[in-house]
Structure 1
Amino acid sequence: MKLKLTLLFTFCLLSQLMAQEKDLVNYVNTLQGTNSKHELTRGNTYPTTALPFGMHTWTPQTGRNGDGWKYQYFKDKIRGFQQAHQCSSWTRDYAVFSLMPMSDKLVVNENDREAKFSHTNEIAKPNYYKVTFDNQITTEISPTERGAHIRFSYPAGKKSFLVLDGYTRLSGVQIFPKENKIMGWVNNGEGFKRGWKSYFVIKFDQAIKGYGTWENKTNKINADSIATEGFGKGAYIEFKAGVKVQAKIASSYISLEQAELNLKSELGLDKNLEQTKAKAAEVWNKSLGKVLVEGGTEADIETFYSCFFRASLFSRKFYEIDKNGKPYYFSPYDGKIHEGYMFTDTGFWDTFRAQFPLNTLLHPEMQGRYMQAMLDAYKQCGWLPSWSFPSEAGSMIGNHAISLLADAWVKGIRTFDPKEALDAYYHEATNKGPWGPANGRDGWKEYFQLGYVPYPKYREATAKTLEYAYDDYCGYQLASLTDNTFYKDIFGRQMYNYRNVYDPSTKFMRGKDAEGKWSSNFDPIEWGGPFTEGNAWHWVWSVFHDTKGLIDLVGGNNKFTSKLDSVFSEPNKVKVGTYGGMIHEMTEMVIADMGQYAHGNQPIQHMVYLYNYANQPWKSQFYAREVMRKLYNATENGYPGDEDQGQTSSWYVLSALGFYSVTPGTGEYVLGSPLFKKITLTLENGKKFIVDAPANDKNNVYIKSATLNGKSYSLNFLTHKDITNGGVLKLEMDDKPNFNRGLNKEDKPFSLTK
């Protein structure tokens, strides 16, 4: 008997160790969401080969230079392998150059050099990308934080060329044939100070046999030329026939010397690509291993880790490490070199909702650096970031930097001065910047004077009012937590302004002019006008900080939940409104076939969790699982719309854990229904939080009962401390709703209105 028990214990221990050492990176498909086009996006992603939050990434290129759709799954030709930073197809890319191998004949024209390939000859993982063209050239890529290790394998007996394309705008290259090296720079991208450059160095392990330069406007080739600079300048080199050549690449925004230092520190010890690949896998397995999921289908696990991968790319590190091991960076905001950390490539309108809360939970040290970096950016350009790629663009609406700052503070991150943060936010809230509508505050004077942004004087005015009110709550919250009565009083007066655009006669948010008249010919399915990328059905729920106040406006719990139900039961129709035609978000809502629920865009993504506030938490459990089941998978069609810098992925990751960040800034996560039987979060403080739901499956989606650390738990939310203190949330799952759990007042998540 003792022997049997010993063997059983040993088996269980080995099983646990094997689970902890899973090669999680192999669950990831970086092709997820790549089957996208302008009129219908399935993610608008590209197969990113990168380290978590890496400064530079690499991807194959099927689109023309400058095309926002750099890789589209339905295309069958590749024209290069790019250094890439693009966070959205709608924003374009920056600091791009590409490499393209070819055999037999040198061709530089990007259209003529394309090579056919099949997805059956393609491997796409975070740590390793490989493709074999129909012409038998194989390209392999493995990443570092600021570079990549690439191997080109040419067919035997054929001439072997490599073309470097300087992409769009100015570039410069210099070839060092005796050193088997190319150095250069590019300055493509928007919003940089004049003279900005991204420097790169490429070192080969095979001798350069021939070389020259070219430019991509006329495709003129200058044989034997070793240096050139100007518009679209590039280079080519020739190796001996049929060679396998490895290229070590690193880039820097600071100098060529720093690029060489980046290469030495990140790739100097790697003798071959296999070593870089293994190191990258180790980094990714550690990052993905912060959340270990067990007891789900293989497809669900693949979707989870593919989404977790996407959630772990943005915001991108924009700093480098000097020869003394200290961080410093070129600022995209003032064009100067500064000590410390900087991050970029995100749009807060998307990512304040789930991506930043997820990173605050799993990467608090990085988030602490990020909060100070935002205030440094404010000092450098005079405005808090809102949409940076890499400098400030002010795209979309709202002033959501304050959401990040308040959420960080309430969750114990103390790396920044809250008075500086509040001063910066006050400046945002009382000025309009020179760039897009989210740079400063569009309509700020009327918002303060009238209590709302008037429409049609301002585009998307009602959506702006709703998001300003939430942001003002975040300012109020940070001021309250830091005993700043001045800002507490100011923002406390504005955070209820959502009430001023609610029309009780229609029970929707509506456009209102400066005289207080509602906009005419109201139709809740009409897109645009006073709303951003949506309609009244999508925007009525955007009262993140006061759901109870919204419930009262609608007429109580029953009317509120009935209205929530109606989102899914309303006809799946679109009225294009001021857009004048179908945009991809409309098409994606129709394809989803969930009534007026438009998960492919951000405004309504939190809606399924609002049943928790109105005595029907079981419906949040049901619909959270429905959205995960119907609208996500790990394939090229894996998303219900734009992935958006990790936001749509982070919604899935948090929801699969069983909770969601409805109101960043409160330190609460609202319960849904976990996707797996067991989930283990390993936190930076060394503690573990486990969601244990042994009966969970595709039918048992409802929480029958719960315990937290062994004690009965009826609340419809968890606090950040509940998780970071470590413990076990035990869930008894069932195929039938429990209509009696989570109904008491104290069970409800946070709302300003009590």
Structure 2
Amino acid sequence: MKNFTLFILFVFLFISCKEHTAESIQDKTATIKLVNPFIGTGGHGHTYPGATVPFGMVQVSPDNGISSWDWCSGYHYSDSIVVGFSHLHLSGTGIGDLADILFMPTNKKVDLTINTTSRDSLPYKSSYSHTNEKSSPGYYQIFLEDPKVNVELTSSLRTAYHKYSFTKNDDQSVVIDLGFAINWDKALKTSITIEDDHTISGYRFSAGWAKNQKVFFVATFSKPISKYTLADNQKNIDDQSVEGEKAKAQLFFNPEGGTELRVKVAVSSVSVANAKENLDSGDFNFEQAKTEAENTWNTALSRIVVETPVDSLKTIFYTALYHTQLAPVTFSDKNGEFRKENDSIVTATNYTAYSTLSLWDTFRAENPLLTLIAPDKTSDIINSMLAYYSTKKILPVWTLYANETNCMTGYHSIPVIVDAYQKGIKGFDAEKAYEAMKTTMMQDERGLDLYKKYGYIPYNLLDESVTITLEYAFDDWCVAQMAKALGKEDDYNYFLNRSKAYQYVFDPETGFMRGKSDDGKSWNERFDPKHSSHREHTDYTEGNAWQHSWFVPQDVEDLVQLHGGNDIFTRRLEQLFTESSEITGDNVSADISGLIGQYAHGNEPSHHIAYMFNHANKPWRTQYWVRHILDTQYNTTPNGLSGNEDCGQMSAWYVFSSIGLYPMNPASGDYEIGSPIFEKSTINLPNGKKFVIEAEHVSDNNIYIQSATLNGVEFNQTTISHQQITQGGILHFVMGSKPNKNWGLTIQKNQ
């Protein structure tokens, strides 16, 4: 009888384990199905719908062939023409580049010698319909209506997989056009070599946003190449290889071998040999590669699990979490080698090198999010920045394919490094990192000579003076925190004092940060806080005084005092959201979008502002405005982002804010409390622990925190530390429809 009882118990446990495993698989499958990569491909989102894996080296995606701002990723949902599928893409940037190594299947011989000046003259373009187009993490499918070819794409970390299904008895061929370029990009030198009847290789050197971009590639085909045509400079080339400014090839395959053709493509910044090493070994098992890509995404998307009965909220959340893991991109090859801007080849030892570092955007929330869901990526990113420093003796601003674009203001490698160090992330040399930060902030480039001389940037000596001053002040504060942590007291005092630079440009009479002359007294007159001039003859970067006057995340309490106290500060802050949305000027920045009053959620400088009420004893206004932004600035349509995605920042704001947190000061190690929209959010931490955020009674109306506990103990503050989160536990909120104006209040200094 005892043995029978044990047998029954064993059977019960076995069945329970099987059911639990089945539930886990089902949950993961459900999660990946909730992602909609078409969100952000319309409007000004600038995302791409193609296939990649988290932080993948290749991003194989369709290109419409249009050179225009809303086609920065190569694709826009409003279009209905596709010209091919290239292997490198940018996610949500405001400047266009890449779209390298274009492949396009077709069922006819095309004239490669045509001088193609626009997509209208491309002989291999095709129309398509969104009804015959699908996208999910790691997979993309489209039916080309003109050649009647179905295209499927998937990817591993360094290899793109294509599957072309031709119509029975049709000719089967693939065009490779290395001269294809959109937006700022221009091919300079290209080459294609027919290596054997299954393999081609080559390279594409170009100049664009990345001034010195070198991409080497190799492609293998599942069928033998029966014949081929090579061309360059409007001439056919009778040889096995072609080299020139715009090398092209058309490869033909025997249709008698079946209607399907499969292709594998790998790239490298170093050499064709490295591209071959990067190419996945084995056969052309597209389905297996797709399954592995989906499994990789399932793991990445399971790092935060949200629970809500509202499916649209799940779709927005998991698509946002997906977008936060598209960039930066893997840049070092399998053997660790990668190319630097000066053409030297170096090896990443014990780390993976990354590029596409959109730091002006991502330092705010994207990089802090990675410290929670992918801290190993954070240390690798820092080592990538230090590798750049070792050559240039300055930290990067915005790197693309290892090229410094010097795009945007500030040196926001610095807060990324400090944030990681303050959170205890290992894997990089802290002393070397500090040396790099200090050296960077002590040089004279990009207005730092003026900043050091005057204590701020005079408007009459440099454009965008206010924004640059505010951002250098924040960077200085970050250097000071690292100096203090490393015991460098003199440096700490020096940089902390310099970080007060924002005080120079604050005008107490108007309440705005304003351009100040080099005389130290006079303001830039004819002042209009709604005026915008895009990147020239302006004191503000991609914005106006309303949007840029709040960037003092390192010392909100002092900013409150400059305004005259909590009441004046919060009244002006409230006015930001309720003022008319008119933007004045003849050259208004297109980046000013997603307007709520003068608050512009479509561009990054506004992203921290709603959380500042927490520091002025009105946390319920943070809760109100954060929830309003969540509800109005994101949706499930292609136009579901209110501005450029910017390599994950727009989505990182949503990921954090929707679960009730936000890194308002992204180098402090603390997260502000906002207004969670999910009943339950579970952060599955890399250390194996879980941090759970519960929002009891949360609904469309119940947006205000009534009370809170942390691990069962009363929690009455508007910030929580990274260390508290990584220890695991439960943060429980009780939500209600009316604000509890006593919750989360702090006694302000000098009030």
TM-score (norm 1): 0.90
Pick from 329, 332, 339 the counterpart of residue 341 of structure 2: 332
Is this contact kept in 1: 2:48–2:91, CA < 8 A?
no
Matches within 5 A, 1:302-381: 302-322=315-335, 327-340=336-349, 341-381=352-392
* 1:476 maps to amino acid: A
1:581 is the counterpart of 2:578: no
The CA distance in 1 between the partners of 2:129 and 2:418, in whole Å, is 48
* 1:298 maps to amino acid: D
Is this contact kept in 1: 2:93–2:647, CA < 8 A?
no
The equivalent residue for 1:185 is 203
The equivalent residue for 2:567 is 558
How far the C-alpha of 1:16 sits from its partner, in A, is 6.2
1:175 is the counterpart of 2:177: no
The equivalent residue for 2:291 is 278
Change (3 A) 1:192 1:393: closer
* 2:487 maps to amino acid: D
Matches within 5 A, 1:204-603: 204-215=221-232, 217-218=233-234, 220-222=235-237, 225-241=239-255, 243-263=259-279, 267-322=280-335, 327-340=336-349, 341-390=352-401, 391-433=403-445, 441-442=446-447, 444-515=448-519, 516-528=521-533, 529-576=538-585, 580-586=586-592, 588-589=593-594, 592=595, 594-603=596-605
1:24 is the counterpart of 2:31: yes
485-494 vs 712-721, greater mean Cα deviation: 485-494
The CA distance in 1 between the partners of 2:217 and 2:506, in whole Å, is 54
The CA distance in 2 between the partners of 1:525 and 1:519, in whole Å, is 14
Q: 1:107-127: CA deviations, max 9, x gaps?
A: 545523210100010011221
Change (3 A) 1:95 1:573: closer
* 2:36 maps to amino acid: N
Q: 1:375-409: CA deviations, max 9, x gaps?
A: 12101222211111121121111111111111011
The CA distance in 2 between the partners of 1:270 and 1:291, in whole Å, is 34
The equivalent residue for 1:657 is 659
How far the C-alpha of 1:209 sits from its partner, in A, is 1.7
Is this contact kept in 2: 1:49–1:142, CA < 8 A?
yes
Change (3 A) 1:101 1:65: farther
115-124 vs 12-21, greater mean Cα deviation: 12-21
Matches within 5 A, 1:608-687: 608-687=610-689
In structure 2, the residue corresponding to 1:145 is in which secondary structure? coil
* 2:668 maps to amino acid: T
* 1:545 maps to amino acid: Q
How far the C-alpha of 1:456 sits from its partner, in A, is 2.1
The CA distance in 2 between the partners of 1:159 and 1:289, in whole Å, is 44
The CA distance in 2 between the partners of 1:570 and 1:311, in whole Å, is 31
The CA distance in 2 between the partners of 1:526 and 1:193, in whole Å, is 33
Is this contact kept in 2: 1:81–1:99, CA < 8 A?
yes
In structure 2, the residue corresponding to 1:284 is in which secondary structure? helix
The equivalent residue for 1:34 is 41
Is this contact kept in 2: 1:94–1:187, CA < 8 A?
no
1:86 is the counterpart of 2:90: yes
How far the C-alpha of 1:338 sits from its partner, in A, is 2.3
1:162 is the counterpart of 2:164: no
* 1:565 maps to amino acid: E
How far the C-alpha of 1:57 sits from its partner, in A, is 0.9
How far the C-alpha of 1:169 sits from its partner, in A, is 2.3
In structure 2, the residue corresponding to 1:636 is in which secondary structure? coil
Structure 1 runs of 4+ off > 6 angstroms? 6-12, 191-194
1:150 is the counterpart of 2:154: no
Q: 1:226-245: CA deviations, max 9, x gaps?
A: 21111110211111237210
For structure 1, list consecutive stretches of 5 or more residues without a partner in the other structure. Answer: 434-440
The CA distance in 2 between the partners of 1:236 and 1:15, in whole Å, is 47
Change (3 A) 1:88 1:704: closer
How far the C-alpha of 1:694 sits from its partner, in A, is 3.7
In structure 2, the residue corresponding to 1:358 is in which secondary structure? helix
Q: 1:446-494: CA deviations, max 9, x gaps?
A: 3223221101211010111111111110000001111112321220111
The equivalent residue for 1:199 is 216
In structure 1, the residue corresponding to 2:38 is in which secondary structure? coil
The equivalent residue for 1:437 is none
Change (3 A) 1:641 1:21: closer
Q: 1:682-707: CA deviations, max 9, x gaps?
A: 11111111111242222221111111
How far the C-alpha of 1:65 sits from its partner, in A, is 7.5
The CA distance in 1 between the partners of 2:341 and 2:689, in whole Å, is 37
How far the C-alpha of 1:280 sits from its partner, in A, is 0.1
The equivalent residue for 2:3 is none
* 2:202 maps to amino acid: G
Q: 1:595-624: CA deviations, max 9, x gaps?
A: 111111111111111111111111211211
How far the C-alpha of 1:559 sits from its partner, in A, is 1.4
The CA distance in 2 between the partners of 1:686 and 1:182, in whole Å, is 45
Q: 1:256-287: CA deviations, max 9, x gaps?
A: 22212211xxx324542110000000000000
Q: CA RMSD in A?
A: 2.5
In structure 1, the residue corresponding to 2:206 is in which secondary structure? coil
In structure 1, the residue corresponding to 2:584 is in which secondary structure? coil
In structure 2, the residue corresponding to 1:523 is in which secondary structure? coil
How far the C-alpha of 1:445 sits from its partner, in A, is 3.0
- Figure out how many residues of one structure are paired with residues of the other and give that number: 714
* 1:726 maps to amino acid: G
How far the C-alpha of 1:10 sits from its partner, in A, is 9.3
In structure 2, the residue corresponding to 1:21 is in which secondary structure? helix
The equivalent residue for 1:720 is 722
In structure 2, the residue corresponding to 1:131 is in which secondary structure? strand
Pick from 114, 121, 139 the counterpart of residue 128 of structure 1: 139
In structure 1, the residue corresponding to 2:46 is in which secondary structure? coil
Is this contact kept in 2: 1:632–1:639, CA < 8 A?
yes
TM-score (norm 2): 0.91
* 2:41 maps to amino acid: T
How far the C-alpha of 1:744 sits from its partner, in A, is 2.5
In structure 2, the residue corresponding to 1:686 is in which secondary structure? coil
Is this contact kept in 1: 2:96–2:209, CA < 8 A?
no
The CA distance in 2 between the partners of 1:193 and 1:84, in whole Å, is 16
* 2:500 maps to amino acid: Y
* 1:98 maps to amino acid: L
In structure 1, the residue corresponding to 2:141 is in which secondary structure? strand
* 1:699 maps to amino acid: N
* 1:405 maps to amino acid: I
How far the C-alpha of 1:289 sits from its partner, in A, is 0.6
Is this contact kept in 2: 1:193–1:334, CA < 8 A?
no
The equivalent residue for 2:182 is none
Is this contact kept in 2: 1:422–1:487, CA < 8 A?
no
The CA distance in 2 between the partners of 1:709 and 1:236, in whole Å, is 64
